[in-house]
Structure 1
Amino acid sequence: MPPHQLQVGIVGAGIAGLAAAVALSHAGHSVSVYEKSQFRNETGAAIIIGPNGSRILSKWGFDFAAAGALDYSQMRRLRGDTLALDSEEFFTDITTKYGDRWLLFHRADLHTGLKTLVSATHAEINLGVEVTDVDVGRGIISFANRETVTKDLVVIADGAHSELISKVLGRPCPVNKSPMSMYRFLQPMDRILAHPEAGQFYRDQPPGFTTFYKTEVGRPGLLINTYPCRGGELLYVALVHPTKPAERGLVGWDSPADVDNFLADAKDFHPAVQAVCDGATDIKVYTQMWRDPVERFAKGRVVLIGDAAHLMLPTHGQGASMALEDAMALQVLFTGVESPADVPSKLEVFDRLRIPRVSAVQVMSNKMMGPPDKMISEIKRYYGGEIPGPKAKTFSNEYNDFFFLYDVENEAKKAAA
């Protein structure tokens, strides 16, 4: 039989939703995206994409230069009080070893680049449209205005706080809140470089993480992570701190921060580090969240992807790359589909492909700070392949190999065979 063009509905126009729109358009289907905002506001933060994600963007023709992508080339860790260099590592052979780049983006620039890819397809993006329900068996999407549409395939990509997850799981799946929260903001890099103290950390340095940490006996630690984005025009700054009482009820990613609380935490650092934070405006705060692995991502004609499927802590910087992997898996599995009747069985293959891989990455991201043996034991509940050993550190060769050598396109083709 000749391929059949499916009618696809995607809920959410963030990174996961737009990636799915590109992927399923490339697979030959008619795609409609429904976004409840007038457009999702991807501002105020930076993001890292590993080679397992960037190779997918490359296949789609993503314009990395227009998005101001920078190669993640080094990681330095300094004591926040004395500025003593604790560790330094350079990543110089990433493309040679893994076949694509390890990249730093402003989140809005990645989002804009994906919108550009969508605009080159026949997919439509419907803004200001709130989805209130889905019928997983019949593919019916219900909207707040009481209208409905029926689709052959429905992709739920509306993020960590999706109210539609229970439609697939058949049960509530609330987020787990970390005891740590994060202040984050952007600084003009030219101002930082011109500063006699703050500039010392970034002048003549390749792009990458510069991290300052402060530990004190009897008190939770503090950590400031910084890295450039938007082609080096901006410096992203994130201060990880114990969650304040007023922050415990926050649910969004971009809640305004209490500046006095931020300054109280920043004062514990060396004056040169404080100078990196001086003059910061539009400071946001969010409480870090995660979910434990779930038993399935798909049911009937509906599939969860991105944070709606596998919310994880940012430990390894793999959240967005997992969403890109989800999208490419859908592209492969739904290329050449012969009938709408095939959708449920294709989604069963998606589950068999994605659940082990994503569950392992979730546990690695969520439990990395706990006992290694316990983390490894939990990973093995979901994943039967080789994994990094108990002494492996974040961004080590062992973890990089696990994340970056995986080619979801090839694996999806094997699963579909």
Structure 2
Amino acid sequence: MDIGIIGAGIAGLSAAIALRRIGHNVTIFEKSCFKNEIGAAITLTPNANRILERWNFDFEKARPVDFMQYRYLHSETLEVCGREDLSGVQERYGSRMCAYHRVDLHEGLRVLAEGEWGVGIRLGCAAVGVDADKGEVEFINGEKVKKDMWIMADGCHTPFLPQILKESIPTTHIGKSVYRWLSPLSLIRTNPQCAQIWDPSLPSGFVTFFNPRTAIMMVTYPCRNSTLLNCALFHTTRPEESNAEGWHSNSTHDHVLRELDGASAAVKHLVLQAEQIKVYKVTQRRPSTKCYGGNVLCIGDTVHYMLPSHAQGGAMAVEDAGALEILFDPKTYTHSPAALSKRLSTFEKLRLPRTATTQIMSSLNPNLTMEGLERQVGDIRRFYAGELVDWPRGCGPWSEAIREFW
């Protein structure tokens, strides 16, 4: 098949690799020009890393950090209030659980797509319209392109779902925002207490600071060969953040420190080592009941956008690509419009129960939102009839029970 993909993020690049591996012609259309790649860290769990291993992804160049534990520390006293052992994850699930700098993961996928598999990437091509029935996408320069199959991987802010799926599901703000930043671990360790918390001899992994009194929650974890610490502080959206759009709005150190009033000096030290602070509003969307229309398939955050509580956003995108590689293998698939429609229906039946259930479970977190619980129960039962782990609160996001569930 001649396949077009809208978006060269993690989902789009992964889909391109998967489809080229089974012989299809693939072109990616990306609205940006890749001039200034930015981003924070991203965690991929074994369900995604297994697929990357099969693709011979270059983990060494991507420099991820393997996670061996999850620690919960009180933000004022630094007392360790809980710990989850992750050292057996790779043996149990067949692959690693690790964190990447998003730029490094993206670059690794891009090198694999372009370098090894010859995927064409057209930059500066912003899609402005989609006709799913005609299999045609219009771009900002007026060009209209037809393909045997289109894959929409343009992310959670896509404007095209109503045109493709014939349903309109709004993205809503939950009243929370996230300050995020990266700090060099070499500078962080200049604080004696931080040096103890991030002692290189200790198993690497998550450190979450929380305070029941103030409802503070700050998640941290290392990336890029443990040279950088990714930090995310969840907080109630402030008036000056109400107009923040996208992932890269600027904020200030003072704004973060204001939220950390009463926290240990070691916790505040993490903020002071950052060059810049970004802020984004936390939003969520109810699951779509479909993932394709005509010859256009939606994958990744485009169709199953989820909160980061269980680190499954990127993982589900890679899983989507893995499913494409199986379902559209020419050994079992001969292209025709009728065959495509049937196979897309199979993709939807296989993937929607898993992605929608993951999306809903990720959307409920006592530290973020429990809004619309009754509706969420109804939503999840449209897709999944099995047992839910400690519903609706869920266990700790990395507990053994929840790992087994995913």
Give the corresponding residue for 2:53. Answer: 58
Matches within 5 A, 1:222-371: 222-336=216-330, 337-341=333-337, 342-369=339-366, 370=370
Distance 1:389 1:259, change over 3 A: closer
Give the corresponding residue for 1:12. Answer: 7
Matches within 5 A, 1:4-43: 6-39=1-34, 42-43=37-38
Matches within 5 A, 1:101-116: 101-116=96-111
- Determine if the alignment matches structure 1 residue 129 to structure 2 residue 125: yes
Q: Could you tell me which amino acid in structure 2 is paired with residue 182 of structure 1? A: V
Q: Could you tell me which amino acid in structure 2 is paired with residue 272 of structure 1? A: A
Rounded Cα–Cα distance in structure 2 between residues aligned with 1:267 and 1:41:
34
- Secondary structure in 2 aligned to 1:173? coil
Q: Percent identity?
A: 38
Distance 1:279 1:371, change over 3 A: closer
Unaligned runs of 5+ in 2: none
Alpha-carbon offset, residue 338 of structure 1: 1.2
Residue from 389, 401, 406 that aligns with 2:404? 401
Give the corresponding residue for 1:410. Answer: none
Rounded Cα–Cα distance in structure 1 between residues aligned with 2:9 and 2:57:
16
Rounded Cα–Cα distance in structure 2 between residues aligned with 1:321 and 1:224:
22
CA contact (8 A) 1:44 1:184 kept: no
Q: Could you tell me which amino acid in structure 2 is paired with residue 381 of structure 1? A: R
Rounded Cα–Cα distance in structure 2 between residues aligned with 1:347 and 1:268:
53
Give the corresponding residue for 1:388. Answer: 389
Corresponding residue pairs, total: 395
Give the corresponding residue for 1:406. Answer: none
Cα-to-partner distance string for 1:342-394 (whole Å, 9 max, x where unaligned)? 22221111111111111100110002333998555642331123432336332
- Secondary structure in 1 aligned to 2:286? coil
Q: Could you tell me which amino acid in structure 2 is paired with residue 383 of structure 1? A: Y
Residue from 208, 211, 229 that aligns with 1:211? 208
Rounded Cα–Cα distance in structure 2 between residues aligned with 1:112 and 1:210:
27
Distance 1:40 1:110, change over 3 A: farther
Rounded Cα–Cα distance in structure 1 between residues aligned with 2:35 and 2:348:
28
- Secondary structure in 1 aligned to 2:133? coil
- Determine if the alignment matches structure 1 residue 138 to structure 2 residue 134: yes
Distance 1:279 1:194, change over 3 A: closer
CA contact (8 A) 1:72 1:207 kept: yes
- Secondary structure in 1 aligned to 2:122? strand
CA contact (8 A) 1:22 1:118 kept: yes
Distance 1:285 1:388, change over 3 A: same
Q: Could you tell me which amino acid in structure 1 is paired with residue 287 of structure 2? A: P
TM-score, normalised to structure 2, is: 0.93
Matches within 5 A, 1:157-236: 157-203=153-199, 204-216=201-213, 221-236=215-230
Distance 1:265 1:164, change over 3 A: same
CA contact (8 A) 1:223 1:240 kept: yes
CA contact (8 A) 1:30 1:122 kept: no
Q: Could you tell me which amino acid in structure 1 is paired with residue 250 of structure 2? A: P
Alpha-carbon offset, residue 399 of structure 1: 1.0
Rounded Cα–Cα distance in structure 2 between residues aligned with 1:381 and 1:163:
25
- Secondary structure in 1 aligned to 2:319? helix
CA contact (8 A) 1:289 1:311 kept: no
Q: Could you tell me which amino acid in structure 2 is paired with residue 364 of structure 1? A: M
Rounded Cα–Cα distance in structure 2 between residues aligned with 1:393 and 1:77:
11
Rounded Cα–Cα distance in structure 1 between residues aligned with 2:244 and 2:47:
32
Cα-to-partner distance string for 1:42-69 (whole Å, 9 max, x where unaligned)? 5231111010000011111111111011
Cα-to-partner distance string for 1:217-266 (whole Å, 9 max, x where unaligned)? xx5x1111111100111111111111111212222011111433222113
CA contact (8 A) 2:260 2:268 kept: yes
TM-score, normalised to structure 1, is: 0.91
Distance 1:285 1:40, change over 3 A: farther
Alpha-carbon offset, residue 70 of structure 1: 1.3
Rounded Cα–Cα distance in structure 2 between residues aligned with 1:388 and 1:373:
15
Rounded Cα–Cα distance in structure 1 between residues aligned with 2:112 and 2:277:
31
CA contact (8 A) 1:34 1:125 kept: yes
Alignment RMSD, CA only? 1.8
